[in-house]
Structure 1
Amino acid sequence: MRDADPGLFGPSSVTWQLHSDPMMWIAGVRALYLQALLPRAVRGVMQNSEFRKDAWGRLMRTANFVGTTTYGTTEAAERAGARVRKIHSMLSATDPETGERYGVDEPELLLWVHCAEIDSYLHVVRRSGIRLTDAQADRYVDEHRVSARLVGLDPDRVPATTGQLAAYFEKMRSELAAGPEARDVDDFLRKPPVHALMIPARAIIWRRVANLAYASLPPYAHELYGRPAPPPAAVTRRLRLIGTLLRCIPAGVRWQLPPKHILRAVARLGPGSRPAPYKLHRRLVILDGPGPV
């Protein structure tokens, strides 16, 4: 096991531990809401995919990409990145107002999608009760300049700290809008099409997930979408409650769900590589620099 390939991040990374948390699913939905607020970016999605018909498939493909790049071998991660870059290089979108045709792999669009994901992952897991030092949060953002490279971005032009990430979002505020495509994403996430037998589950489970993901967005996003959200303190309480409940489900049970990247990673690297956010507290010396043991 000592010579096994740990992949792009490895068990000593913040990413390895955080991405095993079940709240990542809510964070992923939050990222979709945020990404949809940049018209040029969401237009590229809506004009090049059957999002309304295959949104579940898109969500699973995104989850599979994150799982592969986090827990897969270096070769598997690089292969997944190459596949994404190739697909993006063949796609374009049209601005309905100006008629401009542009590629969906424009660095500005890729950067928005990347930052919306990383911000959402970090925001939700921290707000739901996972304790990270500021240095660990910065390390997480910095680690994901690697994943930014995989989709075609220059890592040197990607935020490397939470402060840089916040400054990026502040700079982008004037370009954001809840256009027709964002409304379509909102409508889908609030009431996705499901088989008739699944309608009760959608009302009981999915609606709560989507509502909580929406509520966790920054206030300016609520203003753009035009839908209110509960007070921030109430949202934080709900995130902590759901996080606590989901974390009570044994990891071995949760990891049995497809595509089982974590189980394969542990089989490859040994039981000591099992990810768990609480391990970050044990690794402060490694992650945050020299200190008392």
Structure 2
Amino acid sequence: MAVPSIRRDDYGFFGPGSPSWKVWASPTSLIGFQRAVVLEHFDPFLAAAVADSAGIYTDPYGRLDRTLAYFLTVAVADGRTAVEASDVLMRVHARAKGIEPITGARYSANNPDSQLWIHVTGWHSVLKCYERYGPGPLSATEEARFWAEARIAAELQTCRPADVPASRDEVRDYFATVRARLCTSERADRAMRYLLFTPRDKGVRLWAGSRLLAPAAIATLPKWMRRLGRFDQPAAVDAAVVPAARALVKALSVRNFGPAVAVARYIAPTTAEVLAAHLRADPPAQRRTVTPAEVRERLPVRA
């Protein structure tokens, strides 16, 4: 999919020099994304929604690629493009409703608690992998700004932005709070293993790409999550994967991320086009950032 321009109007919600631009546009976001979509299945309602829709099984390239492209679009595109992408995603999620088989309760992919879990694990995962395998930890000022920007991005979802953690300590508190209601099931286990180690019959690209990223993604997870998901790996693998992943990320980051775009086109082509459009974008019509509320005021009212 060609993306001719993603910054026609403005610099979007964060702008040049923002930690969100740095973290989400880094090659490490591929590892962080795999980490996040695996963790998504610890929420039984999201696991049910994914299983019932079966999108990751019938169209794994499209389903995963579009999701990562959405996150990247929100981070780096102009406000209008980001809001319109969000509106499309919310309409798709609105159709994902059903009965969660463990509890017998109804689920909705747009449920605010589930949306918060997706949002926090997504933003935390890309930051964690950026720190472990990329340039390293953000400064204290940048980290505070990163979580402030995560709250702004949450305005495009159904969760309350005020519920998004505002610091590393608040992220830990959030995980401690929700841990008691996280679980796995036969369908969740199937999905997590599928995402970590995609079968070869889904194509060599996904088969090879998932296995290349999986050890690095798992190495960033705490032991309790690995035990819960039953996908732990030896400490020796954890130790070996760090220098290997760092070397790969460094190689992908040269020449203005040219190698990263090439690899992304092989694994996630829509995401690659968003990244390429971001890297080559000319200055927008208005060289300033905007808020989601400001953008929504300008958009035509949908009948």
Residue 229 (1) aligns with residue 243 (2)? no
Specify the SS of the correspondent of 1:112. Answer: helix
Distance (Å, rounded) in 2 between the aligned partners of 1:98 and 1:190: 26
8 Å contact from structure 2 (residues 216, 242) kept in 1: no
Change (3 A) 1:182 1:138: farther
**What is residue 157 of structure 1 aligned with on the other side?**
163
**Higher mean Cα deviation, 206-215 or 115-124?**
206-215
Amino acid at match of 1:68: T
The root-mean-square deviation of aligned C-alpha atoms, in Å, is 2.5
Distance (Å, rounded) in 2 between the aligned partners of 1:176 and 1:16: 31
**What is residue 301 of structure 2 aligned with on the other side?**
none
Residue 108 (1) aligns with residue 113 (2)? yes
Specify the SS of the correspondent of 1:81. Answer: helix
Amino acid at match of 1:77: A
**What is residue 153 of structure 2 aligned with on the other side?**
147
Specify the SS of the correspondent of 2:80. Answer: helix
**Which of the numbers 9, 23, 34 marks the counterpart of 1:18?**
23
**What is residue 261 of structure 1 aligned with on the other side?**
274
Question: 1:28-66 CA distances to partner (integer Å, 9 max, x unpaired)?
Answer: 101112111121222122212422121221111112212
**What is residue 276 of structure 1 aligned with on the other side?**
none
Specify the SS of the correspondent of 2:104. Answer: coil
TM-score, length-scaled by structure 1: 0.81
Amino acid at match of 1:142: A
Where structure 1 has 5 or more consecutive residues not aligned to the other structure, the ranges are 274-293
**What is residue 55 of structure 1 aligned with on the other side?**
60
Where structure 2 has 5 or more consecutive residues not aligned to the other structure, the ranges are 1-7, 288-303
Deviation at 1:214, TM superposition (A): 2.2
Specify the SS of the correspondent of 1:188. Answer: helix
Change (3 A) 1:219 1:73: same
Residue 168 (1) aligns with residue 181 (2)? no
Amino acid at match of 2:274: H
Deviation at 1:4, TM superposition (A): 5.0
Question: 1:47-102 CA distances to partner (integer Å, 9 max, x unpaired)?
Answer: 12422121221111112212221222211111111112222223213121443223
Residue 217 (1) aligns with residue 221 (2)? yes
Amino acid at match of 2:33: G
Amino acid at match of 1:164: E
TM-score, length-scaled by structure 2: 0.79
Aligned residues: 267
